[in-house]
Structure 1
């Protein structure tokens, strides 16, 4: 019961702050106060607007906002977001451009499950939809999943990716962003052994912790400092009565958001202070740079407790992927079995979450892959967000990734790796 009370207390605090913002804005905007030339009312109204919006968007799933796409014929074509595979903890969705010929590249974007929704990759999707058929993993908020749906840990996550890759077929290019990079690598290796014909053509890993110890950061140091018992005691809570997942043990998105904000507290404080002053001066709008960023950044989702804890223990503490000792559904995955899936790693030189060296470690694990099937890129001056959604992605990284896909658009002829299960 203690875990549930803590969860509800956090939600009550969020709700209270949203109410305080709305109340301040309403009170300061009362017409009678316009007769008083006191700037405190303008400041109070601006503070209320920013505060209400800040806390309101913490519990709202952002919309994809991709409704039309201008094709080569100069016309705007409607974009349908279609569910291809539906599962309790996440769906595989497709951005289908109506009236456009099928594009030559089929791309599966593996979105992170690290506290934010898959819409965090909205700009990545927009940049790829230009000349690709884009599919993405749309993970669900754990608070909305009934306990009857069962557990969901990193092994289940990996098997979801296996199912998605099988559904899309072997002519797929997979791009994994951040947290799912090691599990996507494991899923590809799993297919290499269990179902070689379903392997993708290429695998691009962007800013992921394949080997967290290769270049320690504050994130990896935290994983080393705390014990699993401490994490379970301080980070895990039980969903309250307000949501469908009542009773489910989760790592709350609000806690994850607090961790994100604390890493750059001064920068975030200045951003909100500046936004209040922009509102006072009448320079703010619903879709200005501040709101576009924070509408997405502050929208957080809960992760199942078992997924969070198994990620910390098995990926960061025990380094099962880095040591090539990862087990999925009782099967020890051998990354060296990847022999004909081209693998590329992308890192940001200024990435303070998954520092350079952590992701490129994947290439050393692919011992069965010839050198011409391996590639890597470190983007100068780019931070974690920039390597998949910022200017660095648009101007430099995306063209490199597209070229990599084009260079590996067909599978080389020759003997395929044997399916051990079939041989048995």
Structure 2
């Protein structure tokens, strides 16, 4: 029960801060105070406005906000977010552009389950939907999933990806962003062994910890600084009575958000102070730069405890993917079994979460893949967020990824696996 009490305490603190913000905002707007203007009241109202909005966003799943799109015909076409596969822990959804001819490119975006919703990739989706049929994994908040639905660990996550790939068929190009990169690589290898006809045409891994020990960062090295028992004791809590998932053990999104904020505490504090000043001057708006960023950044979701703990233990501590020792449902996956799926890795030079070297390690694991189907791109000056959603993605990386997809869109030809394995990885093929 102590875990449930801790969970409810965190939610109570969040709720209280939201209420305090709303109260301060309402108090400062009381008409009688206008008789004697006071700058302090303006500041109080601004503080309340920013505080209420911030704590309210922590429990609200953001909307995709993709209502329409102007196509080549010059007309606006509505975008329908359609569920293709519905599962307890996550759905496969399609951004269907109504009235538009089906695009030849078919892309599956694998979103992270690392504390934020799939909407974190909204700008990535927006940049791709004009040129492709875009699908994405939409993971659910664990606190809303009844205990009766059972567990969900990294093996279950991998099997979800396998099923999603099978649903879309072989004419699919998969892009995995950050945390799911190792498991997406494993899912592709699993298909290569179990169901070769369902393999995607290409796999692009962006900023993922394939080998966390290649170039450790504070984030990827975290698992080596604590024991699993310490992590289970301090990070895992039990969902309270207010939610559908009451009793489920989770790694709370609010706790993850605290970790995110502490990494750049000074920068975030300054950002909120500046926003309060802007709000007091009447210069803030619902869709200004601050609110656009933090409405998404502050929206967090709980992860199933077994998924979080197995990720830390098996991916970061034991390095099962890096050592090609990953087991799914009793089957040892051989990444070397990937012989036809083109694999590209993308890294950011200044990525402080998954540093350069961690993701490109995937190419060395693909021992059965010919040199012509391996590629790597290192984006100069780019941080973690920039390689999938910032200007680096839009201006440099996206064109390279689409070029890589187009060059590997044909049906694969049979290869001599032994001959392919003898060739070294060409780690800059797509960057030229």
Which band: TM-score by shorter chain?
A: over 0.9
Deviations 1:15-51 (A, max 9, x none): 0000000000111111111122321000000000000
Q: Are 2:155 and 2:329, in contact at CA under 8 Å, matched by a contact in 1?
A: yes
Query: What's the counterpart of residue 245 of structure 1?
Result: 245
Give SS of 2:174's match: strand
Matches within 5 A, 1:112-123: 112-123=112-123
Deviation string, structure 1 residues 54-89 (Cα, Å, up to 9, x no partner): 000000000000111111111111111111101000
Provide the C-alpha distance between the structure 1 equivalents of 2:371 and 2:249, rounded to a whole number of angstroms: 44
Match for residue 152 of structure 2? Answer: 152
Does the aligned pair in 2 maintain the 1:28–1:42 contact within 8 Å?
A: yes
Q: Distance in 1 between matches of 2:266 and 2:33?
A: 33
Return structure 1 stretches of 4+ with deviation > 6 angstroms.
Answer: none
5 Å-filtered alignment, 1:267-346, equals: 267-346=267-346
Pairwise mapping of residues 19-34 of structure 1 onto structure 2 (< 5 A)? 19-34=19-34
Question: Mapping of 1:169-318 within 5 angstroms?
Answer: 169-318=169-318
Residues 340-387 of structure 1 deviation map (CA, whole Å, 9 limit, x = unaligned):
100000011111000110000000000000111000001111111110
Find the residue that maps to 1:81 and give its secondary structure: strand
Corresponding position of 1:168: 168
Distance in 1, matches of 2:213 and 2:113, equals 21
Distance (Å, rounded) in 1 between the aligned partners of 2:85 and 2:390: 29
Q: What is the match of residue 41 of structure 2?
A: 41
**What are the Cα deviations for residues 307-328 of structure 1, in whole angstroms up to 9, with x where unaligned?**
0000000000000000000000
SS of residue paired to 1:59: coil
Contact 2:111/2:138, CA 8 A, preserved across alignment: yes
Q: CA deviation at 1:283?
A: 1.1
- Rounded Cα–Cα distance in structure 1 between residues aligned with 2:281 and 2:218: 38
Secondary structure of 1:389's aligned partner:
coil
Q: Which residue of 1 aligns with 2:355?
A: 355
Measured against aligned partners, the alpha-carbon deviations of 1:236-291 in whole angstroms (never above 9, x if no partner) come to 00000000000000000000000000000000000000000111111110000000
CA distance in 2, matches of 1:199, 1:330: 20
Would you say 1:383 and 2:380 are equivalent positions? no
Aligned residue pairs total: 417
Deviations 1:162-218 (A, max 9, x none): 000000000000000000000000000000000000000000000000000000100
Aligned equivalents of 1:24 and 1:413: distance in 2? 67
Q: CA RMSD in A?
A: 0.9
The answer to whether structure 1 residue 140 and structure 2 residue 140 are counterparts is yes
Structure-2-length-normalised TM-score: 0.96
Q: TM-score, normalised by structure 1?
A: 0.97
For residues 291-319 of structure 1, give each alpha carbon's deviation from its aligned partner in whole angstroms, at most 9, with x where no partner exists: 00000000000000000000000000000
Shift, 1:411, TM fit: 2.6
Correspondence for 2:52: 52
Deviation (angstroms), 1:416: 9.2
Give the distance between the partners of 1:28 and 1:359, measured in 2 at CA.
51
- Unmatched 5+ stretches in structure 1: 418-424
Q: Is the 8 A contact 2:209 2:220 kept in 1?
A: no
- Unaligned stretches of 5+ residues in structure 2: 418-432
1:392 pairs with 2:395 = no
Q: Distance in 1 between matches of 2:277 and 2:108?
A: 42
Shift of residue 415, structure 1, vs aligned partner = 5.7
Deviations 1:87-133 (A, max 9, x none): 00000000000110000100000000000000000000000001100
Contact 1:196 1:416 in 2 (8 A): no
- My pick for the range that moved more, 29-38 or 375-384, is 29-38
Gap change, CA 1:416 and 1:73, over 3 Å in 2: farther
| 1:109 paired residue number | 109
Which residue in 1 is equivalent to 2:426? none
How many Å separate the matches in 1 of 2:222 and 2:96?
A: 41
After superposition, residues 35-114 of structure 1 pair within 5 angstroms as: 35-114=35-114
- SS at 1:412 equivalent: coil
